[in-house]
Structure 1
């Protein structure tokens, strides 16, 4: 067997995801045709979607998907429908798109915790101030927290992020096709250390660190389904570095099982976690001396955020509380109709609310397959436009936040490029270069320029 290079891996993943999206889109039709046999096939498709979202080995992913397709082709009622999905699309030609583009001892709580940069290696070390309701694991950073539920906990995770040889949005780790079997800080985003702190010490440490920051602003990241604590911390730090965020980075890591087969378990957990997230959110607004608070919630993590925003306008915040500035719903995995209900209640709670939608997001298509109704993060005919929220059809870019790993969008751009203009530069959609207005006065939204 020959080892695939980066281009080969990207090509293989692109075709695999095209096929997976096609099968997910056939879900309602296959359900009618296969009857009692459909639930087993549906479960396999959902598991594959979860594995694709995590960027699993593309060769193994394709092998499993091919086996599933062969079994579907053997089902007489569904064979013709599946065969059409398997058939590759006819080639299209258009204009070329030009694109812009070891463990470290934890810092003691009596010291001011701040990011640091090694000018020689280009490695940035980001302190991620976290809240979580995960159960403790062992003392290694990768297993410090599990996918089981527990009471609220707080602390600081130190993450190293390389700034050279890594594309915006890319969460680099060891790759089998490069024969990389260990983490290298000069190449990979690494969770270096985790230190759990009591709530009071955590709040004081964060307040001191924020007072010493270039800007007294905080960025809260809430991850989605099928994400471990390790990957959540790595993602939060990578986003902070890619956005060149000058304040402090916070993470709320709810107890996702980090298992693509546990979608319904994660659904139940995110609902259970809502009050814990709400308390963490209020802490950021009122107890650390922040000037502005920005929030990015991805996928299923939007459920905790949106259900909290529903009550924000009724909160009696103390004098000097932070301003809730940019609220970003990235590919929200919440029912479209439910989002519409809640949007009226949280309207005006932040300076600006932005929704990134996609017609090519595997996780959202899998969620629609489970629920039978469109998700708020879907584009296409189900694209959601509501008053008080800027909707951006990001189908041409990567709403998974994963950058090159999901290169099937036909572009190496990431919504993080646009978030830079939104959060750091405080630009409105009409001021951001990559966006163009679409629709009419009653249904105006934005999409990416080709």
Structure 2
């Protein structure tokens, strides 16, 4: 029996090793689609007629040494700031709601979203930028955007640029970007990164509240970014005894927040809180996965606002709801409808600009198979899920980019490296690229 067991164990080990090597080879295949990464190296403004979005960056990410990445997904010891200008291609080559990622580098401002300025700022320079930008806003308003889970720095920058441009908002745009590793299997790390950023965001909110030049503040948060926004507002309300009147609109898009916790967060903010607008979609697949991770408790962004007890609670707290369930989008996860629907984006901009109260990933096909097989919390340990995802990694860019992490985690590696496919990107070949 012992001998047979040893033989079986050795055979299983060899099978696992063979499978692991096959998966590693798949990861190393050159790219077959998607868009180049690390696109933030500034290019010449060769399309001066293209619209530009100038934004202030406030981040708790670590400065990257990779050209074109600017900030990575690791946590910095102190907040950093930057001034970025993004060129938006003309409407004749891009539909509203879309981010026109470059197909190759360098970006072409005539056809692509392109970075034309990316300057680091110290805190005093950031304050000067904000002051100058607020003075340009007709109503002295600021729009703060907080992105969601599974976002690289460039994802957040280009998505916010798209929202600002397509909405027609005239507020000073401020992007708050927290350390997300941009991988489906980094859900736990990303969640803790929002907690890590709470104090920094509250500090920004406190500064905006005290700045006499800032007359109005609107906040737009997406997905897991809603947790960060709500916790920072709650923390501010508890510290100050109330939230400032100039905080007019808080827009919660597809919030990945436990409904029971949200109920307590709103209570802690007191009766005088901003006008909350909730964007929900009952077909949001990302929030369905999140619900499974968090003990099958409903996520705020996927509730049915017409059903009890939500309907009465929303009415009692004067929370307006926009149900996007029937709206179609190009997002297969139905998690970014608020940004991809031209009508919704324009509604956001119109209401912010008019001073009225208002009545957002790298998920590859293989990632979806993984989560569907075993749930996001255990996907990394599911061999069957990885086997099913392996063929998809050959043709799907996002699956291939994340696949090394999947395999490394399953193999017990705590420091899985990015997919070697990046080394073989035709736009920036490296010595390690082997074709």
**TM-score, length basis structure 1:** 0.62
Say if 1:412 and 1:351 are closer, same or farther in 2 by CA, change over 3 A.
Answer: closer
For the pair 1:292 / 2:216, whether they are aligned, the reply is yes
Which of 356, 360, 365 lines up with 2:288 in the alignment? 365
Partner of residue 416, structure 1: 345
Q: CA deviation at 1:196?
A: 1.5
SS of residue paired to 2:300: coil
Q: CA deviation at 1:330?
A: 0.5
Check if 1:394 corresponds to 2:394: no
Give CA-to-partner distance per residue, 1:239-280, whole Å, 9 cap, x none: 111111112100100011111221111011111111111112
Shift of 1:393: 1.4
- What's the CA shift for 1:404? 3.8
Q: Residue 307 of structure 1: SS of its match in structure 2? A: helix
Verify the 8 A CA contact 2:43 2:107 in the aligned structure 1. no
Match of residue 103, structure 1, among 32, 42, 50: 42
Which residue in the other structure is 2:62 paired with?
A: 135
- In the other structure, the counterpart of 2:79 is 152
3-state DSSP of counterpart to 2:235: helix
Quickly say closer, same or farther: Cα 1:147–1:164, change in 2 above 3 A.
same
Deviation by residue 1:172-198 (Cα, 9 ceiling, x = unmatched):
2135xxxx6652212222333322211
Q: For 2:358 and 2:52, how far apart are their aligned partners in 1? A: 31
The 3 A distance-change label for structure 1 pair 274 and 284 is same
* Contact 1:357–1:395 under 8 Å retained in 2: yes
**Residues 397 and 413 in structure 1, CA contact (< 8 A), matched pair in contact too:** no
Q: CA deviation at 1:359?
A: 0.9
Q: CA RMSD in A?
A: 3.1
Matches within 5 A, 1:119-268: 122-138=49-65, 140=67, 142-150=68-76, 151-165=78-92, 166-175=94-103, 183-268=107-192
Do structure 1's residue 309 and structure 2's residue 233 form an aligned pair? yes
Q: 1:341 is matched with which residue: 254, 260, 264? A: 264
SS of the residue aligned with 2:185?
coil
Q: Which runs of 5+ in 1 are unaligned?
A: 1-55, 59-101, 106-116, 431-450
Q: Work out the CA distance in 1 between the residues paired with 2:245 and 2:232.
A: 16
- For 1:254 and 1:288, locate their aligned partners in 2 and report how far apart those are by CA, in whole Å: 27
Number of aligned residues: 308
- Aligned mates of 1:132, 1:304 — CA distance in 2: 13
Deviation string for 1:293-313 (max 9, x for gaps)? 100000000111111221333
Deviates most, 411-420 or 159-168:
411-420
Report the equivalent of 1:277.
201
Instruction: Within 5 Å, give how 1:31-46 maps onto structure 2.
Output: none
The alpha-carbon distance between structure 1 residues 199 and 302, as it changes in their structure 2 partners (threshold 3 A), is: same
1:91 aligned partner: none
For residues 114-162 of structure 1, give each alpha carbon's deviation from its aligned partner in whole angstroms, at most 9, with x where no partner exists: xxx99x864122221011011111373x311010000211121221122
Secondary structure class of the residue paired with 1:313: helix
1:164 CA drift (Å): 1.1
* Equivalent position SS for 1:159: strand
CA contact (8 A) 2:171 2:353 kept: no
Aligned to 1:113: none
Alpha-carbon distance between aligned partners in 2 of 1:256 and 1:272, rounded to the nearest angstrom: 11
Q: Tell me the TM-score normalized by structure 2.
A: 0.64
For each residue in 1:379-427, what CA deviation from the matched residue of structure 2 results, as whole angstroms up to 9, or x when unmatched?
A: 33689442231122111236xxxx5455978x95553133134322345
- d(CA) in 2 for partners of 1:211, 1:322: 20
